[in-house]
């Protein structure tokens, strides 16, 4: 019996993770990427992406994080490399803060206990921060950073060495899900048994009708230099989450070996063109640092090293999309928090393509509605 032929469009984490699992399940895979691999302006690259259990009021996503950790371990075993740094997670807000209490209660339904900290304990354990106005917080020993750029590069090397046909600088002009055919920018056409469309922020350029479902969103992150004498203390810090705090919310990724101190917000711009130049204005970068003004001691001594513009594809309710359409499977599992799920999304997507999982069940699972 011949191997099913699958074309994967996009060599970010979703495309390559799906290709990785498809190959393990016996498919003949061709991956098409419009730029280099890793794509320097793709949603899947930078120094790192967060993975953490706290997920608001969404127990389905908490369960998915646990599944993702298992799939990442499978990937590390295949790659012979591990690109995860565990630092732990700190969430601002004590048991009298509604959003923190909801998160802790949801974690408890999944068998995950948090360590509640009083205001005095916060001040004692985190002297770099100003937390006097909080009623406390909670922390977990789990959670940390996935070295995203390194992961994509390692997957590319591994799959290429295994003999997979991965074609960088190959732009797709048109996709026909009905015939499972792809037209390239040079006019040539490729056909397969199935197509996986994992084009990230460029999805709506390939499938314009998806523009009513998802929106490319330009987001700014910054890397900063902390005040003199605090670098070692910052390296021991957990990931910080204050992403439900309205316009003042932010998330922080502590420095890991070879990376800097990274700060971003979770307020989607829902605008911009992913193909445009990625120029970050000084005022844009400063606005991100200013969100930390009430949280960093000696805030004025922090200096912006670099501002970066990245693009996500955002669904209105921040759900992940995995949807079958004729002979194609559309992946848009981003919404600013998708990288952490790349390993398990690739596994589930490959199961659908190979007929080992029901497409509707996987669609519901991706939205956090089903285990």
Q: Where are the chain's structural domains?
A: 5-49+148-214+317-366, 88-143+215-314
Question: What value does the mean pLDDT take over residues 67-73?
Answer: 98
Cα distance between residue 210 and residue 207, in whole Å: 6
Cis peptide before 322 (omega within 30 of 0): no
Q: What six digits make up the tokens of 51?
A: 């993975």
pLDDT number for residue 1:
61
pLDDT number for residue 248:
61
Residue count (the chain)? 371
Q: Is the pLDDT of residue 371 over 70?
A: no
pLDDT digits (tens, 9 = 90+) for 276-297: 999 999 999 999 999 999 899 9
Alpha helices, H only, 210-256: 231-235
Q: Is the pLDDT of residue 247 over 70?
A: no
Cα distance between residue 61 and residue 243, in whole Å: 16
pLDDT number for residue 242:
85
pLDDT number for residue 249:
79
pLDDT number for residue 244:
58
Percent of residues, the chain, with pLDDT higher than 90: 88
Backbone angles phi, psi at 275, to 5 degrees: -90, -5
Question: What value does the mean pLDDT take over residues 218-242?
Answer: 95
Q: Is the pLDDT of residue 90 over 90?
A: yes
Question: What value does the mean pLDDT take over residues 26-55?
Answer: 94
Question: What value does the mean pLDDT take over residues 178-193?
Answer: 98
Specify burial of residue 113 (Cβ count, 10 A radius: 0-12, 13-18, 19+): exposed
Q: How confident is the model at residue 370 (pLDDT cuts 50, 70, 90)?
A: low
Alpha helices, H only, 309-371: 342-353, 359-366
Q: How confident is the model at residue 23 (pLDDT cuts 50, 70, 90)?
A: very high
Sole residue written with tokens 């969430």? 91
Question: What value does the mean pLDDT take over residues 137-162?
Answer: 97
Q: Is the pLDDT of residue 245 over 60?
A: no
pLDDT digits (tens, 9 = 90+) for 201-212: 999 999 999 999
Q: Is the pLDDT of residue 2 over 90?
A: no
Q: Does domain 88-143+215-314 bear CATH number 3.40.50.2000?
A: no
| Torsion sign over Cα 85, 91, 92, 94 | negative
| Torsion sign over Cα 161, 164, 165, 168 | negative
Query: H or E stretch including 255?
Result: none
Over the chain, what is the mean pLDDT? Answer: 94
Going by the DSSP 8-state scheme, the letter that residue 296 receives in this structure is B
Sole residue written with tokens 């608001």? 56
Cα distance between residue 62 and residue 110, in whole Å: 7
pLDDT number for residue 200:
94
Q: Are 175 and 190 in contact (CB under 8 A)?
A: no
Q: Are 224 and 290 in contact (CB under 8 A)?
A: no
Number of H-type helices and E-type strands within the chain: 10, 20
Write the DSSP string, 13-40: HHHHHHHHHHHHTT-EEEEE-SS-SS-T
pLDDT number for residue 265:
87
Sole residue written with tokens 């992403």? 243
The torsion region of residue 239 among left (phi > 0), alpha (psi -120 to 50) and beta comes to: beta
pLDDT digits (tens, 9 = 90+) for 302-320: 999 999 999 989 999 889 9
Cα distance between residue 173 and residue 178, in whole Å: 16
Residues 193, 6, 321: CA angle, nearest 5 degrees: 100
Q: What six digits make up the tokens of 41?
A: 């302006």
Going by the DSSP 8-state scheme, the letter that residue 286 receives in this structure is H
pLDDT number for residue 280:
95
Backbone angles phi, psi at 208, to 5 degrees: -55, -30
According to CATH, the topology of domain 5-49+148-214+317-366 is FAD/NAD(P)-binding domain (3.50.50)
Q: Is the pLDDT of residue 162 over 90?
A: yes
């Amino acid at each position: 019996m011949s191997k099913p032929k699958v074309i994967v469009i996009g060599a970010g984490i979703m495309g390559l993770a799906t290709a990785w699992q498809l190959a393990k399940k016996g498919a003949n895979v061709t991956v098409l990427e419009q730029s280099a691999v890793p794509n320097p302006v793709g949603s899947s690259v930078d120094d790192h992406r967060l993975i953490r259990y706290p997920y608001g009021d969404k127990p389905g996503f908490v369960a998915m994080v646990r599944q993702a950790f298992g799939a990442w371990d499978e990937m590390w075993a295949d790659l012979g490399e591990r690109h995860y740094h565990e630092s732990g997670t700190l969430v601002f807000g004590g048991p009298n803060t509604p959003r923190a209490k909801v998160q802790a209660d949801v974690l408890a339904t999944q068998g995950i206990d948090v360590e509640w900290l009083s205001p005095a304990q916060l001040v004692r354990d985190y002297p770099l921060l100003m937390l006097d106005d909080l009623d406390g917080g909670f922390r977990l020993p789990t959670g940390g950073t996935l070295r995203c750029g390194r992961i994509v590069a390692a997957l590319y090397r591994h799959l290429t060495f295994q003999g997979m046909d991965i074609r960088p600088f190959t732009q797709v002009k048109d996709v026909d899900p009905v015939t499972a055919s792809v037209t390239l920018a040079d006019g040539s056409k490729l056909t397969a048994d199935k197509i996986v469309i994992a084009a990230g922020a460029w999805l709506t350029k390939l499938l314009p009708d998806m523009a009513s479902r998802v929106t490319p969103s330009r987001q700014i992150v910054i890397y900063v230099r902390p005040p003199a004498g605090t670098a070692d203390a910052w390296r021991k810090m957990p990931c910080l989450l204050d992403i439900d705090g309205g316009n003042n919310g932010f998330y922080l990724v502590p420095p890991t070996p070879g990376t800097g101190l990274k700060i971003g917000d979770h307020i989607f711009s829902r605008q911009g063109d992913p193909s445009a130049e990625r120029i970050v204005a000084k005022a844009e970068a400063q606005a991100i640092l200013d969100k930390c003004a009430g949280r960093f001691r000696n805030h004025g001594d922090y200096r912006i090293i670099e501002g970066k513009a990245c693009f996500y594809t955002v669904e209105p309710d921040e759900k992940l999309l995995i949807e079958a359409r004729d002979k194609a499977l559309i992946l848009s599992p981003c919404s600013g928090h998708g990288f952490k799920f790349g390993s398990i999304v690739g596994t589930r997507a490959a199961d659908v393509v190979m007929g080992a999982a029901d497409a509707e069940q996987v669609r519901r699972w991706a939205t956090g509605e089903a285990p």
